[in-house]
Amino acid sequence: MTKKSSFFSNLISFEKEKKRLSNSEDKKPDKKRVCKSMGMREGAARSFIFKRRCFFILLLLLSVIITYGITEITYSIFYVRGHVDMEQIFWFNEDVDPEGHYRFDPDSGFRISQTPARMGAVLPDGQLESMGILQGNDLGFQDDRDFKIDKPENQIRIAVLGDSYTFSSWTDKTWIRIAEDKMNRKLEDKEIFLMNFAIDGGGLGNWAAIVENIFMEKDLELDGIIFASWSCNLDRQFAWRHDGYMFVKDKETGEYYEKKQPGLKIKTVHSWDPDDYPETRKDIMGYWGPNWGWKNFDSETVDLIEAGKWSYHPEFKPYLTIRLIEFIRGLRIRWSEEVIAHEDDRDILYRYYFEEGQLELIFDLAENLKEINLPVLTVSFSGYEECYKKDELFAEIVGSEVITDKESGWPELDIPDDDIHIKNDGHWNQKGAYFFGKTMYQAILDWILEDVVK
């Protein structure tokens, strides 16, 4: 008899003896008492009890894994068949530039092709939620106007750094263009130009890079800078995108080569140190892989989406695992009595809200802004108290004025959420961009007239 079969034989005998003693003694017997009744010596009994405990722990873990696996497969099949989570949103852009519409750029994260392409959000059932034109200007930013180095004499040029809410290529007009139009109607001898330097998915890491690599290096003539900060954008590290040509590893030589492969890759560099950012396309080799939730479609498919004749058939993926990861990533910091108690100690406050490398990057950005010597405004529309606080501390460090959506009355607007947001996503649709621009423009104009125009 093998050791394995001997253990299981002893296990069966143990359970039988345990049951017998329980019935005869009218109480649960001690494990050592059961082993002694079976004729085991003390050393053998200790070894058996330990193995028995390990066996049941492994059995429990195996049961959990099998149960999770069965549940995961079931939910994933239901997802593919459209029985669960059909309320997701699906992002796409038209694939009309063979070189790709997003091209990696070390100065900002990515440049956008100047070839216009339709971009939007659609529900799996084919309902088109929003669509606009993805098109970069001469510097590769989402603006239909070029950013010349020198500005006209009668123009007030304000660079706006933001994320997807300001990037907003899926609307006909961004909120800053709407705000700009309203401000210019109030001016006679000057023209305000809000330059859209927003990076979709970007934040502090990209903003600091743009200030140093573009505003300073290119000596761009500006009159002011606005940071449009939504929901803790300050926690976002340097992000880049690239599509069109992807790097593929040759199985024989082990070398990477470029291959035409439609699809978009979005990647965040997990470091606050600019020295760790990729500098060339070769530096981003090996990062490639599928990016769920985003597709490059040919023009015929986009025509079908516009006509309402398209629907999405989901690909198989680990549904529950992805939802669990999203939940963990969505956990937010909470207020603590320790922070409130040290409200007047700025160093403690800074280090509570910001990581060490993050704080260092903010101070480096502050030094660059000081050298540029321009008025700075932080527009905070975070929606979370801890994010408003971070924006306030950021503005304090970089020497910026602050206005919030709360002060301008945005949260109090009596508008149904589904009327101003893309369904199941949260980004503004065109109506939402209009109302936000309408709500914020006066506060921004007041800052321009008081701090920029002197």
pLDDT band for position 287 (50/70/90)?
low
pLDDT tens per residue across span 362-379: 999 999 999 999 999 999
Query: Interhelix angle for 385-398 vs 346-353, to 10°?
Result: 120
pLDDT of residue 336: 43
Residue 452 structure tokens: 């920029």
At 452, the amino acid letter reads V
Please compute the mean of the pLDDT values over residues 206-213 and round it to a whole number: 98
pLDDT of residue 20: 84
- Pairing, β 256-268 against β 294-297: unpaired
Sign of the torsion formed by the C-alpha atoms of 118, 119, 125 and 128: negative
Indicate whether 57 belongs to any domain: yes
Residue 339 has pLDDT above 50, yes or no: no
pLDDT of residue 244: 62
Sign of the torsion formed by the C-alpha atoms of 86, 89, 94 and 97: negative
Same domain, 21 and 96: no
Same domain, 154 and 268: yes
Of 18, 49, 80, which closes a domain? Answer: 80
Indicate whether 364 belongs to any domain: yes
Indicate whether 301 belongs to any domain: yes
3-state secondary structure of 261: strand
Q: How many percent of the chain have pLDDT more than 70?
A: 86
Of 52, 80, 108, which closes a domain? Answer: 80
Same domain, 32 and 146: no
Same domain, 71 and 125: no
Of 33, 61, 80, which closes a domain? Answer: 80
Please compute the mean of the pLDDT values over residues 253-270 and round it to a whole number: 73
Same domain, 48 and 158: no
Please compute the mean of the pLDDT values over residues 15-44 and round it to a whole number: 82
pLDDT band for position 206 (50/70/90)?
very high
Indicate whether 85 belongs to any domain: no
* Residue 174 neighbours by CB under 8 Å, 6+ apart: 142, 166, 167, 168, 196, 433, 437
Same domain, 168 and 293: yes
List the beta bridge partners of residue 10: none
- Give the least confident one: 113-122, 213-222, 306-315, 364-373: 306-315
pLDDT of residue 331: 57
> Higher confidence at residue 435 or residue 25?
435
pLDDT band for position 209 (50/70/90)?
very high
Q: Which domain holds residue 32?
A: 3-80
pTM of the predicted model over 0.85: no
pLDDT of residue 117: 95
Same domain, 98 and 218: yes
pLDDT of residue 30: 83
Contact (Cβ atoms closer than 8 angstroms) between residue 236 and residue 96: no
pLDDT of residue 340: 44
Residue 434 has pLDDT above 50, yes or no: yes
C-alpha 11/C-alpha 50 separation (Å) is 12
C-alpha 439/C-alpha 168 separation (Å) is 17
pLDDT of residue 449: 95
Indicate whether 270 belongs to any domain: yes
C-alpha 239/C-alpha 163 separation (Å) is 11
Same domain, 63 and 172: no
Q: CA geometry: angle at 204 spanning 200 and 205, to 5°? A: 85
pLDDT band for position 314 (50/70/90)?
low
Q: Which of 439, 413, 418, 452 is nearest to 175 (CA)?
A: 439
Same domain, 325 and 448: yes
Indicate whether 151 belongs to any domain: yes
Could you tell me the CATH number of the domain that includes residue 359? 3.40.50.1110
Same domain, 57 and 95: no
Sign of the torsion formed by the C-alpha atoms of 365, 367, 372 and 376: positive
Indicate whether 193 belongs to any domain: yes
Residue 358 has pLDDT above 90, yes or no: yes
Residue 115, Cβ neighbours under 10 Å: how many?
15
Residue 249 has pLDDT above 60, yes or no: yes
Mean pLDDT, the chain, whole residue set: 85
Same domain, 125 and 63: no
pLDDT band for position 211 (50/70/90)?
very high
- Give the least confident one: 55-64, 75-84, 173-182, 413-422: 75-84
Same domain, 175 and 45: no
Question: What total of structural domains would you count in the chain?
Answer: 2
Q: Which of 75, 94, 102 is nearest to 310 (CA)?
A: 94
Indicate whether 179 belongs to any domain: yes
List the beta bridge partners of residue 121: 91, 130
* Residue 319 neighbours by CB under 8 Å, 6+ apart: 72, 75, 76, 78, 79, 84, 85
H/E element, 264: strand 256-268
Burial group, residue 328, by CB count within 10 angstroms (0-12, 13-18, 19+): exposed
